[in-house]
Structure formats: structure tokens, C-alpha cells
């Protein structure tokens, strides 16, 4: 059995539909990311209108999270 550690950056955006958010997940983010850097990237994604989400255009920053997961394989 092998254990592994996985880290992701989750960027959560509001959309034109107030009942729906849009999440972008990035695997293996840099260890030294700052709140300012992530906020700048998220605002850039919004202003450039890069993604069309099921809830419509991205219109705001909701949250950003670093998610850490320990995964233990039970069956190789």
C-alpha cells in the first residue's frame, strides 16, 4: 500500500446566476502562494471573461482554498 499527499488550489467564483458558483481546481500549487497573488489571478480571469460557466459569466471572487489530502491506497 502506498500513501500519497495531494495538494490543490480551489478558486471559487460567483456567476451571473446567484445560486451557482464556479470552481477552478489547480493541482500542486506553489508552496509560497500569497493571498494577493491568487486574488490578482482570480480578478484577471473575471476581467478577461476567460470561462463561460453553467451559471453564466464569472462575476466575483467568493473564496480560494489550499486543500490538502492524504490518500491511502488499499488495493494496489
pLDDT value at 1 more than 70: no
List 10's β-bridge partners, or say none: 25, 65
Does residue 73 carry a pLDDT above 80? yes
Identify the bridge partners of residue 45 per DSSP, sorted by sequence position.
Answer: none
Identify the pLDDT of residue 53.
93
What's the pLDDT tens digit per position in 19-28?
Answer: 999 999 999 9
Pairing state between β 3-15 and 56-72: antiparallel
* 35, containing H or E segment: helix 35-47
HSE of 65 in the Cβ direction (CA atoms, 13 Å)?
10
Amino acid at each position: 500500500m502506498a500513501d500519497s499527499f495531494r495538494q490543490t488550489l480551489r478558486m471559487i467564483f460567483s456567476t451571473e446566476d446567484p445560486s451557482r458558483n464556479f470552481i477552478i481546481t489547480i493541482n500542486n500549487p506553489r508552496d509560497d502562494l500569497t493571498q494577493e497573488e491568487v486574488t490578482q489571478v482570480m480578478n484577471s480571469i473575471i476581467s478577461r471573461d476567460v470561462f463561460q460557466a453553467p451559471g453564466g459569466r464569472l462575476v466575483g471572487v467568493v473564496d480560494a482554498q489550499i486543500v490538502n489530502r492524504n490518500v491511502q491506497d488499499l488495493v494496489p
